[in-house]
Structure 1
Amino acid sequence: MKIQALVAVLFATALTVSSPSVFAEEKPVTEQLVDTLTTLSGGPHAGYRANHAKGVMVEGTFTPSAQAASVSKATHFQKATPVLVRYSNATGVPNIPDANGNAFPKGIAIRFQLPDGTATDIVSISVNAFPTATPEDFLGLLNAVRDSQGSTAKPSPVEQFLGSHPAALKFVTTPKPAPVSFATQPFYGVNAFEFTNAAGKTVFGRYQIVPVAGAKFLSQEAADKAAPDYLMTDIVERVKTGAVQYKLLLQLAEAGDEVNNATVVWPDSRKVIELGTLTLNKAVADSKAAEKPIMFNPLQLTDGIAPSKDPILLARPAAYAVSYGRRLAH
């Protein structure tokens, strides 16, 4: 298996790799994750995120469905709420071409701007699973990719890792075609959350963000010819000329389903509830400048939504904060 193909789906890129870094053992795993992602992207790239560096922001409204309040008492499930959305490519390379294999999975971050001045976020990717169940294993995966650069070992470090981690191997081999547009790309919340309604009833669920226009992807020939920024420019033009819409869905867990392991995909037979419609109709002026000081946080929650004990979910804000601090320092 070629290392470049592996890197293409591991949130990192080998296109401009710098020399491997030596990490101090006392560093938290979340900081080591940012260090390795930065190394794999050939960084640091001053002022940019360590991962999902290239992005674009738009605005709109979330309108809850009639069913949403039965699932959660969260404010945005009771009435329409303004939203800020950031689409992104994987890797820490700020100018990575949108159809490049290294730019997958795609990301979407949604900030619901609540009436009391607070906010709550959803952060999702375009693949319905995560390659590892713990941040320690994710670091092991990224380090294996890093250590395979220029390695003559057979099998290489990353091949050894994939051989002992079937979920990561499945993630690597899952097709990830280039979408026609961000408006035709489905997104998935790989982490579960606990939802509580006004009556105190609780359920665990995972988000699905489904384009109203349908899932549509480019042929490989078309992807090879795509302009470097085709997704970023397309979504801005679409929201200027007409609304882009998604259905926000929630797949509910049943008894016995694993809610604390992001590598486990629940069966399609699980009940899915429509929470509402996301309508995007405005581009953010000077998106590059506007997105730099914003940190989307999957644990920025509101009453009626609580985190699961998924270790990947619990580690994400700490890693984001490291990247955020470095970004603002430049």
Structure 2
Amino acid sequence: MVYLSMLLPASYAFSAEQVTAQQFVNLQQGNTSFAGFRRAHAKGACVTGYFEPSGQLSALTQVPIFAQGTTPFIGRFSIAGNNPTAPDLKSPVRSLAVSFNISPTQQWRIAMNTPPVMAVSNPHDFYQQIAAIKSGPQALKAFFNAHPETQDFLNWKASYTPNQSLALERYHSINAFYLENSQGEKRAVRWYFEPQGHPMDVTSDTDNALFDELSARLLKGSVKFNWIFILSEETDDENDPAVSWPEDRQRVVAGEVAIEQIDMDLNAQCQSINFDPLTLPSGMSATADPILRARSAAYAESYRRRAKEKLLEALQ
């Protein structure tokens, strides 16, 4: 089943405080709008590659890509922010999104970021966090002090050093999802892409440093990641994205992701994809995590705006 959450109305409220997708995207967009671009993660490049399963996850889910041969995908590396010309190395967050066409009626779209957890547990507080970021360091410090649930995120932030290569970052699902097997049994999971690569002797201080490095790296061969799933236990709350799961949780290497080509063209295929994390295949389902639904609604609103802008541009 494909979840068509991109069809949610623009006024869809994703918290009890009635913060809407429109309001959230307005906040991300700020006073400067770049027509035709995403309101978050505006700067990015398309990639293509394939996934080769290990078979170790097939007992937990009916998603066919974990049991069959290689599956191609379209993806997108990006950096945080609404500016499509922003300097790469100044971004605090890097992202990787992937889209699998599993069958004529099923797709799976995945949106991952370098942080393993959210700072907060609900959309209203996430909205306030973004507002604090835009207000400056003192406002953000006050926000964190008022929200003890941010501790796991702050612990990660204190230990994290942004890499000089998109190929060497670890990308996390952040939110949890359910895997469902043929008996209808569900297991909550999180996952991450673990890089296999090594540093290269390529340095650049240009605004496109990360994408230049990735392009140079791909000239030497595929960029590969291990796709690792974390299996929850009964004490883990799959609906709270701000809480880390214990390090001793079972991990399963689902297979290997290989990225083979990059396309920096602004009209490349991935640029028109809405990487909605609620676009899920049979064998997977969403948890009740409210931020997961907030992400989906905000992505849909951003998609609507840039699609309209592209259409108006074409009609001129």
Say yes or no: TM over 0.5.
yes
Offset from partner CA, 1:6-44 (integer Å, 9 cap, x none): xxxxxxxxxxxxxxxxxxxx97432211111111xx521
The residue identity in structure 2 corresponding to 1:311 is: P
Deviations 1:236-289 (A, max 9, x none): 333343111111110011111111011101111000001111111122372554
For 2:288, the equivalent position in structure 1 comes to 309
- Residues 56 and 288, structure 1, Cα contact 8 Å, conserved in 2: no
Q: 1:306, CA displacement in angstroms? A: 0.5
Structure 1 counterpart of 2:63: 74
Distance 1:94 1:239, change over 3 A: same
Which piece of structure 1 moves more, 237-246 or 292-301?
A: 237-246
**Paired position in structure 1 for 2:129:** 141
Q: Deviations over 1:152-192 (max 9, x none)?
A: xxxx5433322111343653543442313111111111100
Partner AA of 1:46 in structure 2:
A
Kindly tell me: are residues 294 and 276 of structure 1, through their superposed partners in 2, closer, same or farther at Cα, counting changes over 3 Å?
same
CA distance, structure 2, for counterparts of residue 234 and residue 66 of structure 1? 32
Matched positions, count: 290
Aligned amino acid, residue 42 of structure 2? A
- Per the alignment, residue 18 of structure 1 pairs with none
If the length of structure 1 is used for normalisation, what is the TM-score?
A: 0.81
Q: Against the structure 1 CA distance between its residues 287 and 245, is the aligned structure 2 distance closer, same or farther, given a 3 Å change threshold? A: farther
Which residue in the other structure is 1:270 paired with?
249
- Counterpart amino acid of 2:234? A
After the TM superposition, which residues 48-127 of structure 1 pair with which residues of structure 2 at under 5 Å, given as runs?
Answer: 48-79=37-68, 80-100=70-90, 103-116=91-104, 118-127=106-115
Aligned residues: percent identity? 28
Q: Distance in 1 between matches of 2:149 and 2:37?
A: 29
CA distance in 1 between partners of 2:161 and 2:112 (Å) = 17
In 2, Cα distance between equivalents of 1:199 and 1:186: 32
Moved over 6 A (4+): none
Indicate if the aligned counterparts of 1:178 and 1:217 stay in contact, CA closer than 8 A. Answer: no
Q: In 2 relative to 1, CA 70–90 (structure 1 residues): closer, same or farther, beyond 3 Å?
A: same
| Equivalent position of 2:172 in the other structure | 188
Counterpart of 1:292 in structure 2 is: 271
1:8 is matched with: none
* Residue 217 (structure 1) shift: 10
- Using the alignment, how far apart are the partners of 1:288 and 1:54 within structure 2? 13
CA deviation after TM superposition for structure 1 residue 97, in Å: 1.0
State how far apart, in whole Å, the 2-side matches of 1:169 and 1:318 are. 26
TM-score w.r.t. length of structure 2: 0.84
Q: Distance in 1 between matches of 2:172 and 2:195?
A: 12
Task: Structure 1: give runs of 5+ residues left out of the alignment.
Answer: 1-25, 150-155
CA contact (8 A) 2:152 2:243 kept: no
Aligned to 1:3: none
Shift of 1:134: 0.7
Unaligned segments of structure 2, at least 5 residues = 1-16, 310-316
Quickly say closer, same or farther: Cα 1:193–1:182, change in 2 above 3 A.
same
Of structures 1 and 2, the one scoring higher in RCO (CA 8 A, sep 6+) is: 2
